[in-house]
A and B are shown apart, each in its own frame.
Chain A
Amino acid sequence: MIKGLSESLPRKTTTVLLMVLILLNMAFSTGCSREKHQRVTAYTTLDEELARKLFKAFTDETGIKVDWIRLSTGECVARLAAERSNPHASIWFGGVGLGHIEARNIGLTEAYRSPYALMPIRFRDPKFYWTGLYASPLCFESNTEKLKQYGLKPPLSWKDLIKPEYRNHIQMANPGSSGTSYNIISTLIQIFGEEEAFAYLSLLDKNITHYTRSGLAPGKNMSIGEVAIAIGYTHDALKLQKEGYPIEITFPEEGTGYEIASISRIKNAPEKEREAAKLFFDWALQESATKILASQNVVPFHKTLITLGTFSINDVNIVHQDDEWSAANKQRLVEKWNQRIGFKYE
Chain B
Amino acid sequence: MNKSFGKIRKDPRLLITASIITLLLILFILYPLYSAFKMSITGDGGISFSVYREVFTQKQNIRAISNSLVLATLTATFSTFIGFTFAYSIHRAIIPGQKYFRAMAILPLISPPFMFALSHILLFGRNGLITARLLGIDSLGIYGLNGLVVVQTMGMFPLSYLILSGIVRAVDPDLELSAMNLGARRLRVFRTITLPLTLPGLLASWLMVFMGSLTDFGNPIIIGGDFNVLSVQAYLEFTGMGNLPRGTALAILLLLPTLFIFTLQKQILKRRSYVSASGKSVRNSRGLGTPGISRALFIFCLMITVFILLIYITIIAGSFITLWGEDWSFTLKHLSYSYDVGFKTLINTLLLALISTPITAAMGILIAFLATNKDLPGRKILEFLSLLSYAIPGTVVGIGYVLAFNRSPFKLSGTAFILIAVYVFRNLPITVEGGIAALSQVSGEIEESAANLGGNSAYILRRVTLPMIRPAFFAGATYAFIRSMTAISAIIFLISARWNHMSVLILAQTEIMRLGVASVMSFVLIILISIIIFLGSQMTKLKGTGLPASLKQLKAY
Q: Which residues of B contact A176 (CB under 8 A)?
A: 236-237, 240-241
Q: How far is the CA of A131 from the CA of B121 in the complex (A)?
A: 39
Seen from chain A, the residues whose Cβ lies within 8 Å of a Cβ on chain B are 1-5, 7-8, 10, 16-17, 20, 23-24, 26-28, 30, 41-43, 47-49, 52, 67-70, 72, 74-75, 77-79, 81-83, 85-86, 88-89, 149, 168, 174, 176-178, 209-214, 216-217, 220-221, 223-227, 244-245, 334, 338-339, 342-346
Q: Are A225 and B132 in contact (CB under 8 A)?
A: yes
**B355's closest neighbor in chain A, by CB?**
A23
Q: Which residues of A contact B196 (CB under 8 A)?
A: none
Q: Which residues of A contact B514 (CB under 8 A)?
A: 48, 220
Given that A74-B242, A334-B241 are contacting pairs, would A345 and B226 also be in contact in the complex, using a CB cutoff of 8 Å? yes
Q: Are A20 and B355 in contact (CB under 8 A)?
A: yes
**B147's closest neighbor in chain A, by CB?**
A346
Partner of A221, one of B144, B355, B402, B513: B513
Q: Are A27 and B355 in contact (CB under 8 A)?
A: yes
- Between A174, A211, A213, the greatest number of chain B beta carbons within 10 A of the residue's beta carbon is seen for A213
Q: Are B144 and A27 in contact (CB under 8 A)?
A: no
Q: Are A174 and B240 in contact (CB under 8 A)?
A: yes
Binds A, one of B156-164, B166-174, B494-502: B494-502
Q: Are A343 and B240 in contact (CB under 8 A)?
A: no
Given that A16-B358, A224-B325 are contacting pairs, would A83 and B414 also be in contact in the complex, using a CB cutoff of 8 Å? yes
Nearest 7 pairs of A and B residues by beta carbon: A177-B240, A8-B462, A78-B242, A220-B513, A88-B414, A225-B127, A210-B225
List 10 other contacts, CB 8 Å, given A209-B225, A213-B236, A220-B514: A4-B461, A7-B458, A8-B459, A8-B466, A23-B354, A74-B241, A78-B238, A83-B406, A210-B143, A220-B513
Q: How far is the CA of A16 from the CA of B369 in the complex (A)?
A: 20
Chain A's interface: helix, strand, loop or mixed, by majority?
mixed
Q: Are B508 and A70 in contact (CB under 8 A)?
A: yes
Given that A2-B17, A210-B226 are contacting pairs, would A8 and B497 also be in contact in the complex, using a CB cutoff of 8 Å? no
Given that A82-B406, A213-B240 are contacting pairs, would A26 and B351 also be in contact in the complex, using a CB cutoff of 8 Å? yes
**B227 interface residue (CB < 8 Å to A):** yes
Q: Are A42 and B497 in contact (CB under 8 A)?
A: yes
Interface residues on B, range: 35 or more
**B141's closest neighbor in chain A, by CB?**
A346
In the complex, 20 of the A-B residue pairs with CB atoms within 8 angstroms, ordered by the A residue number, are A4-B462, A8-B461, A17-B358, A26-B351, A28-B417, A42-B497, A70-B508, A78-B239, A82-B403, A85-B407, A176-B237, A177-B241, A209-B140, A213-B221, A213-B511, A224-B324, A343-B64, A345-B226, A345-B227, A346-B227
- Between A1, A70, A210, A212, the greatest number of chain B beta carbons within 10 A of the residue's beta carbon is seen for A1
**B515's closest neighbor in chain A, by CB?**
A224
Seen from chain B, the residues whose Cβ lies within 8 Å of a Cβ on chain A are 11, 13-14, 17, 58-60, 63-64, 67, 121, 125-127, 132, 138, 140, 143-146, 221, 224-228, 233, 236-242, 244, 323-327, 337, 340-341, 351-352, 354-355, 358-359, 366, 369, 373, 402-403, 406-408, 411, 413-417, 420, 457-462, 466, 495-498, 500, 508-509, 511-515
**B461's closest neighbor in chain A, by CB?**
A4
**A67's closest neighbor in chain B, by CB?**
B497
Q: Are B414 and A75 in contact (CB under 8 A)?
A: no
Q: Are A227 and B497 in contact (CB under 8 A)?
A: no
**A17's closest neighbor in chain B, by CB?**
B358
Q: Are A342 and B63 in contact (CB under 8 A)?
A: yes
Q: Are A86 and B127 in contact (CB under 8 A)?
A: no
Q: Are B497 and A41 in contact (CB under 8 A)?
A: yes
Q: Are A338 and B145 in contact (CB under 8 A)?
A: no
**A30's closest neighbor in chain B, by CB?**
B498
Q: Which residues of A contact B326 (CB under 8 A)?
A: 224-225, 244-245
Q: Which residues of A contact B414 (CB under 8 A)?
A: 83, 86, 88
Q: How far is the CA of A343 from the CA of B515 in the complex (A)?
A: 26
Q: How far is the CA of A149 from the CA of B138 in the complex (A)?
A: 10
Q: Are B457 and A217 in contact (CB under 8 A)?
A: no
**B70's closest neighbor in chain A, by CB?**
A346
Given that A69-B500, A78-B241, A83-B414 are contacting pairs, would A344 and B226 also be in contact in the complex, using a CB cutoff of 8 Å? yes
Q: How far is the CA of A213 from the CA of B337 in the complex (A)?
A: 23
**B128's closest neighbor in chain A, by CB?**
A226
Q: Are A67 and B498 in contact (CB under 8 A)?
A: yes
Q: How far is the CA of A110 from the CA of B294 in the complex (A)?
A: 71
Q: How far is the CB of B227 from chain A (nearest CB, A)?
A: 5
Q: How far is the CB of A279 from chain B (nearest CB, A)?
A: 17
Q: Are B341 and A52 in contact (CB under 8 A)?
A: yes
Q: Which residues of B contact A77 (CB under 8 A)?
A: 242
Q: How far is the CA of A78 from the CA of B237 in the complex (A)?
A: 9
Q: Are B406 and A217 in contact (CB under 8 A)?
A: no
Q: How far is the CA of A24 from the CA of B354 in the complex (A)?
A: 10
Given that A67-B497, A86-B414, A224-B326 are contacting pairs, would A24 and B355 also be in contact in the complex, using a CB cutoff of 8 Å? yes
Q: Which residues of B contact A27 (CB under 8 A)?
A: 351-352, 355, 416, 420
Q: How far is the CA of A334 from the CA of B402 in the complex (A)?
A: 24
Given that A69-B500, A86-B411 are contacting pairs, would A339 and B458 also be in contact in the complex, using a CB cutoff of 8 Å? no
